[in-house]
Structures are given as structure tokens and as C-alpha cells.
Chain A
Amino acid sequence: MSQKLSWRKLAATSVLVPALALSACSSTGGRAPEAGSEGGGGEVASTERMKVALITHAPAGDTFWDIVRKGAEEAAAKDNIELQYLNDEDGGRQAQLLEQAVDQGVDGIAITLAKPDAMASALKEATDAGIPIVSLNAGEDQSAELGAFTHFGSNEKLAGETVGERLKEEGYENPICVIQAQGHVGLENRCAGVKSQVPGTEILYVQGTDMTQVQSTVTAKLQSAADADVIIGLGAPITMTILQSAATANNDIKVASFDLNAELAQKIVDGEVIFTVDQQPWLQGYGAVDALWQNKRGGFEIGGGQPVLTGPTVIDSTNAEEVLAFAEEGLR
């Protein structure tokens, strides 16, 4: 009985939805008609096809890592590389992915060292097997020690200091720094960098996996912290939510940010966000994969034993419009 009813409902919906759909096209927004542009066209390197594994600590479904991956894919397409992208948040499981890549006999490894100690023994296996290694994003200090010939990334502390300096210049004294994952070393370093320049900095922790909770917690903070003059989001989606909290709390506090996406670039153009610092994640992915290719091509080791910095670069009202076009393409 109940199933019959459900089937009938199902049938009704399957008729109703297309019927509605026919008369319900949106006049604005939505998917742009196919532009037919495949990025990174042109000649492919004539070197022998090689296989590179890019292994990150990215949580699934994170926009930042999407851009890193796009950079890596573009380098792979140009350099005649077969790219294997693998990720796991958990240090132990990331090390297992690394071991698997070594077992498969890849020709190069690009790896993030968010948990360097967990990677040490697996990286030893890789260096023993003579596989060239490049680290990216996290682990600048441990990179050389663990056998990587160079590192692509932006120093989180330096990025934090850049933000802090800028805020100090503009006369802000009591920033709130919003951390969306408690106990995350990189994020803590960013806020520590801000605090080193502006001692009045306060840290607020929110649960980044639930935007409604981010919004209500930030609203709560803005209602109770009367002397705060600027609030900083550590990721573009978090900053977008902070803007809503400021509106809800009726607080005309200024908003600054780390990282970038198209919506954030638009808000900087509109003047709703004062600035952001970008670590240019696309360059990290592109640089790491391309460095492995250069190493194969001529034994090159870029960076002179030092990390190659991909940031921080400041994006404010002076250059946001230019960046916006690339952000809409998913490159920035």
C-alpha cells in the first residue's frame, strides 16, 4: 500500500518536474553556455612520458586544494606527465598513499608536509629508491631534511605578518582573527603572525564544516566585542560568511581576509572587504610538478636549496579587478 502510493508520487514528480522545467528557465545567472575553451592548449613537451604523484593532506571538498590541483594538472598537460592526485587529511593514511606511490615506481613525488613526522619513514623509502621529491604548501622547514630538493609554498607566519603590518599601517588596533579548524598549525601561525604586528589581536574559533554555526558564532563575538575594529577570515568562504555576520550584528566593522576566490575578489572590488593576502595556490601545484619535470629534463634543482615562495601577495582595491577575471576562471 505504502509502496504503491510512493510509486504514484514518484510518477507524478517525474511528470511534474520536466513540465515545470519547461516554463521555468532563469533569465539571469546559471551555467554559462559552453565557451569551448580548454585551458593550457598548445605544444606538449617532447620528453618521455613520466608519472608523478601529487599527494596532499587536503580534506575532501576544499576549494583551495582544487586550485592547487588545477595548477598541477596544467603543468602535467604541458610536460607530458601522467599525474596521479591523491589526498588524505589523516597523517598516517597520507603516509600510506606515499608508500603506495613508491611501490608503483613513480618518476617523481610532490607532497605536502603538514605532518612531517608521519611522512619521514615513507619519504626515506622514496629517496632510497632514487625518486626525486618536491614538497609544497606545508613543511617548509622540514622539507630539505626529509629529502625534498625544493619546496613551493608561502610562509604562513610571513603571510600573517604581512596582514598585521598592513593593518597596523592603516591604524587598526583590535583585530579578531577567526580560525575555522581548531589546532591547525598553519592557521594558528597566520593569526600568530598578525598578533606579532598588532598585539591587540584576539582569536575566535569556529566550526568550519558548518557555515550556519560559523555565522552565528561570529555574530555572537561581534555583539560582545565592542572595541574590535577589524575581523579577519582565514579562508575565502569563511570571509564571505563573516560579511553576513557583520550585517546581522549591525556592526560596521572592517573585514580582511586570507586566500581568494571569485566572490571574494568581487567583494574587494565592491569595497566590502579591505584586502586579502593570496598564497597563489595554483603556482604551488604548477611549480611542484614542473620542478620534477625540469629535474628529469636536465637534472635541474630550482630554488638553490631554499624554498620557492609563491606568496604572500596582497590583493586590494588597486588590483582586485584584474585578479577577478582569473578568479572566475578558477585559477586564483
Chain B
Amino acid sequence: MTSTATIKAPVSDERVAIKSTLAKLLGRPEIGALVGAVALFIFFSAVAPVFLQPGSIATVLYGASTIGIMAVGVSLLMIGGEFDLSTGVAVISSALTASLFSWYFSMNIWVGVLLALAVSLGIGFINGWILVKTKLPSFIVTLATFLMLTGLNLGLTRAIGGSVSTPSISTMDGFESAHAIFASSVNIAGVDVKITVFIWIAMVAVASWLLLRTKVGNWIFASGGDANAARAVGVPVVRTKIGLFMGVGFCAWVAGMHNLFAFSTVQSGEGIGNEFLYIIAAVIGGCLLTGGYGSAIGGAIGAFIFGMANKGIVYADWNPDWFKFFLGLMLLLATIVNLVVKRRAEQK
């Protein structure tokens, strides 16, 4: 395929050749998602003018941020070649831990919050550790933790709190400050924007920096691309994968704390099914299921697409029966566009 090129210019290697800006742009993992997001934004602005109000945009961003915070961790994990089915209930596990521990022992909320962080990181560590020790596929390992966490959420909540939802913690010490950090609103030019939007943006920025500017980022791409080759050149694959699962745990903690402090009670059966939304966001954003390819910003765009579609249907007064169908269609289209664009860019 490249034989003619090598004959003409034997001194240059096509792998290190300088690409045109356009080719570079088209080669980015999130380009398909970006095109889709812009199209969807224009579309909903046209059919539902209320969509463009600052207040509405803040609502769409909030809806996107609660998915997007998790999509950050899930995207990195998928680039690292694994995925996690336990994320939806892990968010609730984290919220339940903080709430029930503080309530049962009548302690300052922050003790529970820190314990929840330890538990969430621990769940991630266990997922990763079992994975690298047993070499089982992440589908099986995290499906098992998904089921176990679902059971623990229900069982422990009833055993400790005596009911299926946690008691309200809104009057306890530390609630105010925790609420301010995890669930408050920031007023920007007269519009209340939820703090999760800023947390989300910050997390995407940190994850992008980690991926593109640090040694760890290279390890993540290498572990996901070809774990054996990566190990051969000295990449600590085991530590990278466990670290990625713990990163997902950290995101679950942030999302869980928001759930807890926004609503002050948590129902133990919540969260089931959300793991797929996080994966959908990452995949729409250009992460490959096979690993080694993708970006943090892509996952964020994927979450934003979800937020726009989910809320746009309400603004446009459409029958929501069709929402899931459109979500599926968008997933399919986005992945096909990603595939086509990527092939084109590689050929040039």
C-alpha cells in the first residue's frame, strides 16, 4: 500500500511525517462525536427555541455532568482496554456508605464522606486486582461486582437503617459544608449553574492532561493497545490497570456524594442501568471497546450529547417513548462515523 511512497521518498518515514492540520483534526478520536454534538445542538435550537435560554443550557449541562463525571473515569478505563459494569451501583454504594456510617454513629458527615472515598477506591482496587490476578475478562469480573454491590446496597441498607432508603442526614453536622462542595449552585450572570458542571469540566481537564502530557498517559494507551507488548517495553501494566479501576472508583465517589448531598436521602435500589450510559458516553466520544484509542474530552462530548438528547426531547414536547431508540441510533451512527473518519485519516 505504501510501497510507492517509500520508493519516491526513501529517507522519510510515513509514521513520523508531518500531517496537515485537517488530517490531524480528522484523526482525533472525538471528531465524530463533536460533529454529532454540533448537529444535535443546531437541531434542537431550531425545533425548540426554549432550548437556547441560558437557564435551559444550564439544565442540559447539569444532566450531562452527572453522566459525564463518571464518563471521565470510564473513558480512561476503556482506553486502558477494560470496562466496568459495576459503576452505576458503585455510585450508590458510595453514597450509602457515607450516609449510613455517619447516621448510625451520629458523626460529622465528613467522616462518612472520607470513609466512602476509601470504600470507593477499595472497590476499584478489588475490581482491578481480581482482573490482573485471574486474567478473567473485565466483563465477568465487573458483572460479578455489579451483582454483589447491588445485593450489598440493599442488604446493608436494610440491616443498618431498617428501611430501604437511608434516613435523611440534612440536619447533621457537616452537611452544610459538604452540600456546598458537592451539590450547590453557582450564579453566573443571573443563571444558577450546578457545581457538578464545574467539577466535571475540571475532571475532564485533569484527565486530558494526564492522558496527553504525562508518562502515565502513555502507559494507559500502551496497556490498552497491546498489554503484552507494553509489558515487554517496561510499562507497569498491572499497576496501570488497577489504577484505572481506582480512578473509576474516585469518579463514583464524586458522583455518589453529589447524589447524597443533593437529595439528603438515597434509595438503595437506585443506579442500576446507569453503567451503560457511562459506557455509551465514552463510546459515542470515540473510545474503542478494544482499548488503546480514545480521549477524555470525547467522553465529555458523549455525555453532553446524552444530556442534549434527553432534555431536548422534553423542551421539544416530543413523545419520550422514542428516546431510547434515538439513543441507540445515535450510538450506532457515532461509532460508524468514528470508524469511517479514522480510516480516512489513517489513509492520508
> Do the two shown chains form a genuine complex with each other?
yes
In the assembled complex, B6 has its CB within 8 A of some CB on chain A:
no
Known pairs A224-B50, A244-B262; A212 contacts B107 (CB<8 A): no
**B262 contacts which chain A residues (CB < 8 A)?**
211-212, 215, 244
Instruction: Report yes or no: B239 in contact with A31, Cβ–Cβ below 8 A.
Output: no
A61-B269 contact, Cβ under 8 Å, with A205-B320, A224-B48, A248-B185: yes
B212 within 8 A of A: no
Residue of A nearest to B125 (CB): A6
Q: Taking CB as reference atom, which chain A residue is nearest B63? A: A216
- Interface centre among A59, A213, A215, A244, by most chain B C-beta atoms within 10 angstroms, is A213
What is the interface size of chain B, counting residues whose CB is below 8 A from a CB of the partner?
69
Determine the distance from Cα of A29 to Cα of B167 in the docked complex, in whole angstroms.
10
Whether the Cβ atoms of B270 and A209 lie closer than 8 Å is yes
The answer for the CA separation of A205 and B324 in the assembled complex, in Å, is 12
Q: Which residues of chain B have C-beta atoms less than 8 A from A219's C-beta? A: 59, 62
**Residue pair A30, B162 in contact (C-beta under 8 Å):** no
A-contact bits for B238-282, CB 8 A (1 contact / 0 none)? 110010000000000000001100110101111111100000000
B27 CB to nearest chain A CB (Å): 34
Q: Within the complex, which residue of B55, B115, B315 is in contact with A17, where a contact is CB–CB below 8 Å?
A: B115
CA distance A241 to B130 in the complex (A): 38
A-side interface mostly:
helix
A189 within 8 A of B: no
| Cα of A2 to Cα of B128 in the assembled complex, Å | 12
Which one of A25, A26, A217 has the greatest number of beta carbons of chain B within 10 Å? Answer: A26
Contacts of B311 in A (CB 8 A): 216-217, 220
- Whether B104 lies near A31 (C-beta < 8 A) is yes
Collect the chain B residues with CB atoms within 8 Å of residue A62's CB: 164, 267, 269
- Nearest CB in chain B: distance from A181 CB, A: 12
- The answer on a CB contact under 8 Å between A2 and B173 is no
How far apart sit A60 and B62, CA to CA, in the bound complex (Å)?
A: 28
Query: How far apart are the CA atoms of A151 and B315 in the complex, in Å?
Result: 42
Inter-chain CA distance A209–B277, complex, in Å, is 13
Specify the chain B residue showing the minimal Cβ separation from A27.
Answer: B173
Taking the closest CB of chain A, its distance from the CB of B74, in whole angstroms, is 16
B271 touches A210 (CB 8 A): yes
What is the bound-complex CA distance between A330 and B164, given in angstroms? 11
Interface residues of B, dominant DSSP: helix
User: In the complex the two chains form, is A24's CB within 8 Å of B108's CB?
Assistant: yes
Mark contacts of B121-157 with chain A using CB atoms, 8 A cut-off: 1 yes-contact digit, 0 otherwise.
0000100000000000000000000000010011001
**Cross-chain contact A61 with B172 (CB below 8 angstroms):** no
B310 contacts chain A at the CB level, 8 A cutoff: yes
Q: Does A295 lie at the interface of the complex (its beta carbon under 8 Å from any beta carbon of B)?
A: no
Residue A15 is within 8 A (CB to CB) of chain B in the complex: no
A9-29 interface code vs B (CB 8 A; 1 in, 0 out): 000010001001100111111
Cα of A25 to Cα of B310 in the assembled complex, Å:
42
What chain A residues lie within 8 Å of B173 (beta carbons)? Answer: 24-29
Q: Using CB atoms and an 8 Å cutoff, list the residues of chain A in contact with chain B.
A: 1-2, 6, 13, 17, 20-21, 24-31, 59-63, 65-66, 182, 204-205, 209-213, 215-217, 219-221, 223-224, 237, 240-241, 244, 248-250, 263, 330
25 A-B Cβ contacts within 8 A? A17-B118, A24-B110, A24-B111, A26-B107, A29-B171, A30-B169, A31-B105, A60-B164, A60-B269, A61-B153, A66-B163, A209-B273, A210-B66, A211-B259, A211-B262, A212-B63, A212-B259, A213-B63, A215-B262, A219-B59, A221-B314, A224-B315, A240-B263, A244-B262, A250-B55
18 A-B pairs besides A20-B114, A248-B192 with CB distance below 8 A are A17-B114, A28-B173, A29-B106, A29-B168, A60-B154, A182-B320, A212-B66, A216-B307, A216-B311, A217-B310, A217-B314, A220-B63, A223-B59, A224-B48, A244-B262, A248-B59, A248-B194, A330-B163
Interface residues of B (CB under 8 A from A): 48, 50, 53, 55-56, 59-60, 62-63, 66, 102-111, 114-115, 118, 125, 150, 153-154, 157, 162-165, 167-175, 185, 192, 194, 236, 238-239, 242, 258-259, 262-263, 265, 267-274, 307, 310-311, 314-315, 317, 320-321
